[in-house]
Structure 1
């Protein structure tokens, strides 16, 4: 059964999904801030913090960041569980793929919690921290795409070039984000800037920035040149250009400042998460289905006879 875009149930689930995209972006950014502020082990135990739900005596900026990061993850998990239950209860009124995708998302959030526990119990190993971010970005991609599909109940398939270029751009931005995470969690940038050692991750991250930005801009230019539906997406395409420009500027500024300003580094991570979310939404975005014109029926009885 197909539900119109004005269906209250579908609209509420789309609204919940949109809020979850924001919560997941916040989760990525707060996690980055936790690392930048060296607060990854501010709460030495898991899942509690100093053996309690709300550490009062030990509370400071570092403990707050780690505690709030866990709180945000818990809220996301509960909201996804509610969404999954609702999609199964009212599955006859919703797309058949929604309950199963919600189940996958709940599983991924549970796995994300397990990786979060390992980052604390194993004292922040670089590989696990990078995997933790990779899974978080995967959740952002899936939830952003899910939101678009819920908002477009009846739509045509987007052009093949649109899906290919936007997909390549999304893959490039995610890969670049993970390279940056690997560089940050192994403290490679600091080692390279201070002592000229362990520079391979920093050089790889810098060398990949130009190709990734070029793919994103190629997608934007192609969409504008193609015209039609793709050109009508210009507000989102303009947003991509602004985010790419900001990301490049923040990356350069971060290195110029020698990673000494946590706010600039966190802003760099925020823009990366916003790029991932926007590109994922554009990959899933589709043209609205054109209404089928009604056939014109001529009534012979209403026509006057024609005399020669």
Structure 2
């Protein structure tokens, strides 16, 4: 059990690191810093020697080597690869321990393999927005699933409050609304629409007349290269506006849920989780406003991505705590 607990704990924090690095890579426009996969210009690390650089330029003349972008991409891949090996270890340890359920470890392994495929397609399909958004959602899902696994391995952190069971549908709704909003954020970033509107509270004057919903949510398949986006300015503005409106809806729904939870909860642990989720919600909304007001500063934008991942993880953990059965009874892991 202790081995599984340690592996799960390390995996949670490593996943957070991978999410941070992934956001930093995307926001520094380094998603194609290495135009091939899994290596970089045909090498296992960024080429430095003159003859290696010459070989790289010959192999990929359309994409000159930019070492800082290439290193951003490769460091992200190294950490993601390490996470993949760690999750494989979690799976094999669960496989060897016959008393343990293998459902979550199997799901984790399948998800991290799919994430690796999405990482490959991100490069080979030249930042296809659908793939980029899917890669983001996959990383957030992986973090939440690891948190669920960690919770199941630590029964001391599981509570049972029968009066909260009726809030489970509201909790599921809150998770669903936040997931849709994260997907909208991913679509906004993948289509380079984060600065399509730079005025508050909604957009520049006349934004409603410029809305183009059909193009904004078209998959735009068939382009050779999606770097820096292929949408029109009107479509990008539409995506941005939808993300802003989604932020308001998310703030209202999650605030209402957390308020109801706070009024009914009695355990210290759930009170702390509720307060932490509320703090992250307010921080996330503030970071979104600052992204617009300050024109997407790098540190702020990375934090916006990271806080969203942690807010989703916390809501999933809270949802798992609203149980109809007593966790002190025997239950498989």
- TM-score bucket (shorter structure): 0.7 to 0.9
Q: Does 1:225 align with 2:263?
A: yes
- Aligned equivalent of 2:286, options 249, 252, 260: 249
Cα-to-partner distance string for 1:75-112 (whole Å, 9 max, x where unaligned): 111111111111111122x2x3xx12211211111111
- Whole-angstrom distance in 2 between the partners of 1:14 and 1:210: 38
Answer 1 or 2: which has greater helix percent.
1
CA shift in 2, pair 1:77/1:232, >3 Å: closer
User: Which of 178, 183, 191 is equivalent to 1:178?
Assistant: 183
TM-score (ref. length: structure 1): 0.82
For residues 216 and 161 of structure 1, what CA distance do their matches in structure 2 show? 16
Distance in 1 between the 2:96 and 2:161 partners?
A: 28
Match of 1:301 in 2: none
SS across alignment from 1:197 = helix
Distance in 2 (CA, whole Å) between partners of 1:189 and 1:137 is 20
Q: Which runs of 5+ in 2 are unaligned?
A: 49-64, 199-203, 205-231
| Residue 52 of structure 1: how far off its partner (Å) | 2.3
| Match for residue 119 of structure 2 among 116, 127, 135 | 116
Q: Is the 8 A contact 1:126 1:182 kept in 2?
A: yes
Contact 1:145 1:283 (C-alpha < 8 Å) held by counterparts: no
Partner-residue secondary structure (3-state), 1:228:
coil
How many Å apart are 1:248 and its aligned residue? 1.0
- Give the match's secondary structure for 2:194: helix
Kindly provide the CA deviation profile for residues 2-32 of structure 1, in whole angstroms up to 9, marking residues without a partner as x: xxxxxxx2x3312321221222222222111
State the Cα distance separating 1:196 from its structure 2 match: 6.0
Structure with max Cα Rg? 1
Cα distance change on mapping 1:219 and 1:122 into 2, 3 Å: same
**1:38 offset after TM fit, Å?**
0.4
Alpha-carbon distance, 1:173 to partner = 1.8
Aligned to 1:3: none
Residues in 2 aligned to 1:275 and 1:145: alpha-carbon distance in whole angstroms: 14
Question: How many equivalent pairs are there?
Answer: 276
Gaps of 5+ in 1: 1-8, 292-308
Whether 1:236 and 2:273 are equivalent positions in the alignment is yes
Displacement after TM superposition at 1:247 (Å): 0.8
Matches within 5 A, 1:1-308: 9=1, 11-55=2-46, 57=48, 60-92=67-99, 94=100, 96=101, 99-152=102-155, 156=160, 159-193=164-198, 197-198=234-235, 199-229=237-267, 232-259=269-296, 261-285=297-321
Are residues 34 and 227 of structure 1, via their aligned partners in 2, closer, same or farther at CA, if it must alter by over 3 Å? closer
Q: How far did residue 155 of structure 1 move?
A: 6.3
Q: 1:167 to 1:80 in 2, by over 3 A?
A: same
Question: How big is the shift at 1:66?
Answer: 0.7
Q: Note if contact 1:14-1:147 (Cα within 8 Å) is conserved in structure 2.
A: yes
